[in-house]
Structure 1
């Protein structure tokens, strides 16, 4: 179990950490190539949509043929995509490398695939705790890579920095071999549940649908804040100059990454002692209260830092809880695929949070409406997670 935790954590640290710093490359790349910012934005948007849409397919392949084979392909695609971003002077080639290739790579190297391995190799009573450990590793990667990637950019420039990140991403390939499951097999005896049967079973299950709705809210809130918090603070600088200082936004985002580590670990730990659906509901309600206080209290650097710390603690703590409930209800045979299906809802929410933040700001000149939507969605997610049933379903076949 220790080896799975160490190398699974490292895989997620690399895959999530590298992508977290992509925003730092926006202006250097677009200015160097004479592109508009929409080129870079389209690439990252495409990356996230592909990640969400293809994740269930990648998960099904991992469940069928073994996760380590999928992760080898993902590590190679990640490194090639970063190298392609570095060497592309054409917008289409850049979008293919950074959007298509890295989007596909993330489906094979992030939480869903790693959680499938954990689900099969960690005792059921420690499963959510192990998922929390791995999520904390991904959170640490997000916290670590912001200064690391900024340092590479400052010291070596855009192209060489991306090529160095490609070399770092290639380390995921040998890591995948360390996660090879020696006793993995996927046999279909007569009467066993097939992938399509598992998919149909999940879609018909009310608890699965409720979890999926809640995960949409998670994606909406975190990506809206990640993308629009800095410009929101900048807009406040006309009335509250101290809040609009660039260092405030940088510190706020760093605090989110830092407290995310503690939040994801804590959610996995607490899930061993309390019902996971209540913890999930509490997280969403806590976000709603935190956002409400943030937009109504007079802004200051300190209030911003407190908000960032609270949101960071609640940031990705939904991941081990949601995936843990999926495993508890349906078992681990198709966990990677089903986790990917839930994650697709998360990514749809992410797209809506990022897009509506910009769209409604352009229409109204304020982020207030989007903040209010985020609060309402938090209350909605609080309510829909309460009736989730955390018990294994009864089947008439041995699946």
Structure 2
């Protein structure tokens, strides 16, 4: 089936309509984001069974975040060059294998390989990042804004579903069974990915504006001031999200909040992020994207200050989850839209992948430092305040971004 980039006029097959692409992509985002956002609930039961400190589990999930980020531009480049389908199938299989190995992990090394290496690389090939890339390539421009918001919101809905589902599975059947069920669900990505298949890209057949090599695209992006600022600001998003996802359930438990309440806090983040992501997907067509990003980062900083400054109760915890949810993944639609606006869609998955590296380096540090600081001082307070500082800095960093396509030299006729 031939598909023109940015369009979806079917030729020999008609089943891959824009609606089918969006629905299947959202289902993949839901499935891939759900389990990894629920792994924080495995910290306490696995740590108790194997007498591990939180730094052990923190390192494994920190590796996951880092390798997810490092693998993203590689997966994106392969998808840009050879098509998305193979990348997503391999990613889903690695993801399922990581959850299976995590189920049978009895040593920190096996935990690092399963929860860290396999799931990390699996996410780079099957997560919502590649879904957003497929949306950018397969859907016409007028549908991209809301589709990017919907794809991001679907990941949040996965978090909303899997958090209480994971807690219920652990409480009723044990953490081992919960991981096996999660792994089996990842295999559903395989048939769904057929709807997101993109054709291989041949530079020689591309339009004149898209005749750009991989190295030239990277040099152009990293020489562009606005892209560098966008990448630096995205670091904060990863730091805050990963720290909260992994360590918030334990933080609440330390303060006497039941695990079921912790599950609903994470679920509230996912539920309200559906509202936030869809709203931002629409708002970015009305307001400058850089201002939206700045407001998101500053709002996060204020919500963290309020949360840690007052006594922790079930109500305040769920309220924090709701406020955090409104800004949770809502950075993704404007960030990805800015990448596409600046550089086009030819190397979108690659360039957004490199921005995501910054996001996941932040995630690595958030998870890892959270475990280290807690084991050293018995408190997460320093990391909470570091999150506030990063939020304020990112709010300022995004303001000077210029929202227009990069200027490229135009070949003159002889």
Structure 1: distance between partners of 2:44 and 2:309: 32
Asked if structure 2 preserves the Cα contact closer than 8 Å seen for 1:193 and 1:397, the reply is: no
1:1-399 correspondence runs (5 A): 1-32=18-49, 38-89=55-106, 91-181=108-198, 184-189=199-204, 192-233=211-252, 244=257, 246=259, 248-297=261-310, 299-361=312-374, 366-396=379-409
Asked if structure 2 preserves the Cα contact closer than 8 Å seen for 1:126 and 1:272, the reply is: no
1:25-57 deviation digits (Å, cap 9, x = unpaired): 334445555655554433222221111111111
Structure 2: distance between partners of 1:161 and 1:295: 31
CA RMSD of superposed structures (Å): 2.4
Asked if structure 2 preserves the Cα contact closer than 8 Å seen for 1:67 and 1:117, the reply is: yes
Asked if structure 2 preserves the Cα contact closer than 8 Å seen for 1:78 and 1:106, the reply is: yes
Distance 1:91 1:355, change over 3 A: closer
Structure 1: distance between partners of 2:119 and 2:305: 35
Structure 2: distance between partners of 1:156 and 1:367: 30
Structure 1: distance between partners of 2:166 and 2:91: 21
Structure 2: distance between partners of 1:32 and 1:346: 32
Structure 2: distance between partners of 1:22 and 1:68: 27
1:244-264 deviation digits (Å, cap 9, x = unpaired): 455554433332222111111
Deviation at 1:265, TM superposition (A): 1.2
1:179-223 deviation digits (Å, cap 9, x = unpaired): 223xx2311229821111101111111011110111011112222
Structure 1: distance between partners of 2:76 and 2:297: 27
Structure 2: distance between partners of 1:93 and 1:245: 29
Structure 2 equivalent of residue 240 of structure 1: none
Structure 1 unmatched ranges of 5 or more: 238-243
Asked if structure 1 preserves the Cα contact closer than 8 Å seen for 2:91 and 2:121, the reply is: yes
> Greater shift after overlay, 376-385 or 143-152?
143-152
Asked if structure 1 preserves the Cα contact closer than 8 Å seen for 2:58 and 2:370, the reply is: no
Asked if structure 2 preserves the Cα contact closer than 8 Å seen for 1:129 and 1:272, the reply is: no
Asked if structure 2 preserves the Cα contact closer than 8 Å seen for 1:55 and 1:344, the reply is: yes
Distance 1:47 1:2, change over 3 A: same
Structure 1: distance between partners of 2:142 and 2:184: 37
3-state SS of paired residue (2:204): coil
Distance 1:366 1:180, change over 3 A: closer
TM-score normalised according to structure 2 size = 0.86
Asked if structure 2 preserves the Cα contact closer than 8 Å seen for 1:129 and 1:271, the reply is: no
Deviation at 1:140, TM superposition (A): 0.3
Asked if structure 1 preserves the Cα contact closer than 8 Å seen for 2:341 and 2:405, the reply is: yes
Structure 1: distance between partners of 2:36 and 2:292: 28
Deviation at 1:288, TM superposition (A): 2.0
Distance 1:349 1:320, change over 3 A: same
Structure 1: distance between partners of 2:345 and 2:264: 39
1:313-348 deviation digits (Å, cap 9, x = unpaired): 111100111011101111011111111100111111
> Greater shift after overlay, 152-161 or 59-68?
152-161
3-state SS of paired residue (1:149): helix
1:219-248 deviation digits (Å, cap 9, x = unpaired): 1222223333344445556xxxxxx45555
Work out the number of aligned pairs and report it: 390
Asked if structure 1 preserves the Cα contact closer than 8 Å seen for 2:167 and 2:259, the reply is: no
Asked if structure 1 preserves the Cα contact closer than 8 Å seen for 2:54 and 2:371, the reply is: no
Deviation at 1:308, TM superposition (A): 2.2
Distance 1:259 1:131, change over 3 A: same
1:262-287 deviation digits (Å, cap 9, x = unpaired): 11111111112111111111111111
> Greater shift after overlay, 28-37 or 333-342?
28-37
TM-score normalised according to structure 1 size = 0.89
Distance 1:146 1:298, change over 3 A: closer
Deviation at 1:24, TM superposition (A): 2.7
